[in-house]
Chain A
Amino acid sequence: MKCLTIAWKDFMIRFKDRRGFMLMILMPLILTFILGSALGGVMGEDATVFPKTNLGIVWKDDDPLARQFIRDVLQSRDLKPYIHIKMADSREALEEHIREGSIDAAIVFPNGWSRDLNNGKLKGLTILADPGKSLQSDILQTLSQTFMDRAETTAVSTKTVLSVAVDSGPEQMAGLSQEVADELKQAAQQQWHAVEEKSVGQKPVSGMQYYAAAMAAMFLLFNMMNGAKSFIHERETQTLARLFSTPTGKTSILIGKFLGTLYFAVAQFLIFMLATRFLFGVNWGDNALQTLSVGAAFAVAVSGLSMFIASVIHTEKTADVVGGIGVQILALLGGSMVPLTLFPDMLRQIAHIAPNTWALTSLVDIMGGTAWSALALPIGVLAGIGAAAVTIGTWRLQAR
């Protein structure tokens, strides 16, 4: 397998190149550290799923529904680490606490909140928040509305079913009542389980994690340029002609060049992943196989593109210029500099033309926890880009 010999030669040349090593391995580590540390507050746990919140509550009459909301929602297993509850006597006291900054937001339960439940319409909660903490306010609004909708639906359903049951005969009422109550209770619990399941994939991703993925996606892009340059350099120094004068097929030589870039890209990703894990404690997610699959698919994409670029560019100087600008544009468009979530919708859609967008979003998804089914498309797209680019590139180079 001469293509493997060529690939290994290319890999070793790049691996031993000190300047290349600095650019491809050390630089992304340094940038990850700088960006991850500097922008951690913006990107991190504090801003991702639920910001840590000091929540004030006014709850005067020990209302059972309010108790259930506090116990099952605000202090549930998932939210308890983020919400610290502080009781207060009055709305005025809460407003004072907010002004002082000792709490971020507050909920005022109406007196006899659960009394209106039988009518199927609960009174709305009053939510107070520091104007600068609108995110907390929005989340509390959503949580309370969801809880109220569920409670109202359960109450109305029970009432309706029971009235039907009464019409069907008093002797069956007690049993039916119990059965419906049990089923609704189960349904209510299932709904909460569904919410819990949905929270998988929504683990907070810290700034350090995001920028580790972003830098991996960005610096793997440099393999497009380096792979193409390696090919052009061999052409200029006549080693490529010498290779073609050996009893080695053209396809084997071209595949060898592709594999050389692929080897390095995969190694670069692995080294970077391990280095960020052990140096900065970056958690790349619970499923290493998913991370490696995305990394490998992205490596295939950049290696394939390197062959395509080699087939359309003729000099190393052009490759340097085009590659340098191209990588920067792709890095910017793909969210390696500025998080994709901050992009306008249209730009976010356009960003999908960049392979690093697919890689970065997938890596971040894996960090937050995601299913294989969600990764099928990005892995397919990346592998497809790689396969198409290497096919076209090899075909064009063979024709020369």
Chain B
Amino acid sequence: MLQVIELKKSFGGKPVVKGVSFSVDKGEAFGLLGPNGAGKSTTISMICGLLKIDGGDVRVNGLSIKKDPMAVKRKIGIVPQDIALYPTMTAKENLVFWGKMYGLKGREAKAKADRVLADVGLSDRANDKIETFSGGMKRRINIGAALMHDPELLIMDEPTVGIDPQSRNHILETVKRLNEQGMTVIYTSHYMEEVEFLCERIAIIDHGEVIALGTKTELCNRLAGGTVIQLKVDPIKERFIQRLKTMEAVANVKIVEEDRIEVFVTRADAALSQIVALSLEHRVQLLSLNVKEPNLEALFLQLTGRSLRD
């Protein structure tokens, strides 16, 4: 469906996207993860034909954005990060307008707007001005505008920024449903749990480069010491810490607070019994023990040394 080939972009001589490549299959939900300034939005803008490509190409169903931008744009629905709507127009007027921009005619656009309003759960607010909507409602119409022409590929650039949990859940459920109905989705976010909920495959971008790409399981398997065992102990003894670090299944040990330790392990099952035995041996009392499975946040931290929300 989509092929991003060695995409490059510089601003003022400074490279922002440095040869990004990935592909997305038809009907797939693909996640693009990265912190602010990683190059996600620039990549998306080039895929949509908003920014001129310095190097590489984007192909949608074999059509090059460079050679046939209009044909490519017809296949894509873009949900921008900002609420790109006209606040003094009603929800329906906005949807009809954006539908017409994708070539829908008058009646067809109105009928489609009614269906989209139902899809995003705002039929009862069809004739209210956007400026009277809450942030979450605006986001839903923002998505609706991208769905007016039934795009084959829906690209969503951080569509849940700054909204209430209810609207966020509604949006995630809507996107999930659209994907299940066969729509290909590219979802960018720095909310890990959203990407994990929606996407089968994920690319992690940082400093304009794809630093990891694969399914969630594949990515987590790359994580050395991906499982974290959180311990609350009394007291923390230096010799106990040193012995922990020498254990085969342990990748790292971190003292978080004066009575809390995080033990990064490659195999939780093997490590658990050894940790319990070691605590008995050193007369260290285990007050609590919690096992955290590997996640993308940890992977991202390991790959970049930064948190996703930095």
Residues on the A chain within 8 Å of B48, using CB: 245
Question: Across the interface, do B80 and A248 meet the contact criterion of CB distance under 8 Å?
Answer: no
* In the bound complex, CA of A12 to CA of B90 (Å): 12
Question: Across the interface, do B100 and A239 meet the contact criterion of CB distance under 8 Å?
Answer: no
A244: interface (CB < 8 Å): yes
Residues on the B chain within 8 Å of A244, using CB: 49-50
Question: Across the interface, do B70 and A9 meet the contact criterion of CB distance under 8 Å?
Answer: no
Residues on the A chain within 8 Å of B49, using CB: 244-245
- Residue interface bits B54-88, CB-to-A below 8 A is 1, else 0: 00000000000000001101101010111111101
B89: interface (CB < 8 Å): yes
With A241-B50, A244-B50, A245-B49 as given contacts, are A2 and B100 in contact (CB-CB < 8 Å)? yes
Question: Across the interface, do A2 and B101 meet the contact criterion of CB distance under 8 Å?
Answer: yes
Within 8 A of B (CB), among A1-52: 2, 5, 9, 12-13, 16-17
Question: Across the interface, do B80 and A241 meet the contact criterion of CB distance under 8 Å?
Answer: yes
Residues on the B chain within 8 Å of A238, using CB: 80-84
CB distance from A87 to the nearest CB of B (A): 70
* In the bound complex, CA of A249 to CA of B83 (Å): 22
Chain A interfacial residues counted at CB < 8 A: 19
A246: interface (CB < 8 Å): yes
- Residue interface bits A226-254, CB-to-B below 8 A is 1, else 0: 00000000000111011111111100000
Residues on the B chain within 8 Å of A239, using CB: 84-86
Question: Across the interface, do A17 and B86 meet the contact criterion of CB distance under 8 Å?
Answer: no
Question: Across the interface, do B85 and A245 meet the contact criterion of CB distance under 8 Å?
Answer: no
* In the bound complex, CA of A16 to CA of B145 (Å): 22
Residues on the A chain within 8 Å of B76, using CB: 245
With A244-B50, A245-B73, A246-B102 as given contacts, are A9 and B89 in contact (CB-CB < 8 Å)? yes
B15: interface (CB < 8 Å): no
CB distance from B150 to the nearest CB of A (A): 14
Among A5, A13, A243, A247, contact of B70 (Cβ-Cβ < 8 Å): A247
* In the bound complex, CA of A243 to CA of B81 (Å): 14
Within 8 A of A (CB), among B21-50: 45, 48-50
Question: Across the interface, do B84 and A16 meet the contact criterion of CB distance under 8 Å?
Answer: no
B264: interface (CB < 8 Å): no
Question: Across the interface, do A13 and B97 meet the contact criterion of CB distance under 8 Å?
Answer: no
* In the bound complex, CA of A242 to CA of B99 (Å): 12
* In the bound complex, CA of A240 to CA of B167 (Å): 26
**Size range of the chain B interface in the assembly:** 20 to 34
B103: interface (CB < 8 Å): yes
Interface centre among A2, A241, A246, A248 (most CB of B within 10 A): A246
Residues on the A chain within 8 Å of B45, using CB: 241
Question: Across the interface, do A246 and B88 meet the contact criterion of CB distance under 8 Å?
Answer: no
Residues on the B chain within 8 Å of A17, using CB: 88
* In the bound complex, CA of A248 to CA of B73 (Å): 9
Number of A-B contacts (CB under 8 A): 57
B187: interface (CB < 8 Å): no
Residues on the B chain within 8 Å of A243, using CB: 101
Question: Across the interface, do B50 and A245 meet the contact criterion of CB distance under 8 Å?
Answer: yes
Question: Across the interface, do B98 and A246 meet the contact criterion of CB distance under 8 Å?
Answer: yes
Residues on the A chain within 8 Å of B82, using CB: 237-238
Q: Which residue of B lies closest to A20 (CB)?
A: B88
With A16-B88, A17-B88, A247-B74 as given contacts, are A9 and B50 in contact (CB-CB < 8 Å)? no
Question: Across the interface, do A248 and B101 meet the contact criterion of CB distance under 8 Å?
Answer: yes
Among A9, A242, A247, contact of B80 (Cβ-Cβ < 8 Å): A242
Question: Across the interface, do A246 and B73 meet the contact criterion of CB distance under 8 Å?
Answer: yes
Question: Across the interface, do B102 and A237 meet the contact criterion of CB distance under 8 Å?
Answer: no
* In the bound complex, CA of A9 to CA of B93 (Å): 9
Residues on the A chain within 8 Å of B50, using CB: 241, 244-245
Q: Which residue of A lies closest to B78 (CB)?
A: A245
CB distance from B157 to the nearest CB of A (A): 10
- Residue interface bits B182-197, CB-to-A below 8 A is 1, else 0: 0000000000000000
Residues on the A chain within 8 Å of B102, using CB: 246-247
Residues on the A chain within 8 Å of B98, using CB: 242, 246
Among A5, A237, A241, contact of B97 (Cβ-Cβ < 8 Å): A5
CB distance from A19 to the nearest CB of B (A): 11
Q: Which residue of B lies closest to A248 (CB)?
A: B101
CB distance from B40 to the nearest CB of A (A): 15
Residues on the A chain within 8 Å of B89, using CB: 9, 12-13
Q: Which residue of A lies closest to B87 (CB)?
A: A237
CB distance from B161 to the nearest CB of A (A): 13
Residues on the A chain within 8 Å of B101, using CB: 2, 5, 243, 246-248
Within 8 A of A (CB), among B127-159: 145
Write 11 A-B pairs (CB below 8 A) sorted by A numbering.
Answer: A5-B97, A9-B89, A13-B88, A237-B82, A237-B84, A239-B85, A241-B45, A243-B101, A244-B49, A246-B98, A249-B70
Closest A-B pairs by Cβ, 8 of them: A242-B84, A246-B101, A238-B82, A247-B73, A238-B84, A247-B70, A245-B48, A247-B74
A contacts, CB < 8 Å to B: 2, 5, 9, 12-13, 16-17, 237-239, 241-249
B contacts, CB < 8 Å to A: 45, 48-50, 70-71, 73-74, 76, 78, 80-86, 88-89, 97-98, 100-103, 145
Given contacts A237-B83, A244-B49, 4 further A-B contacts (CB under 8 A): A16-B88, A239-B86, A242-B80, A243-B101
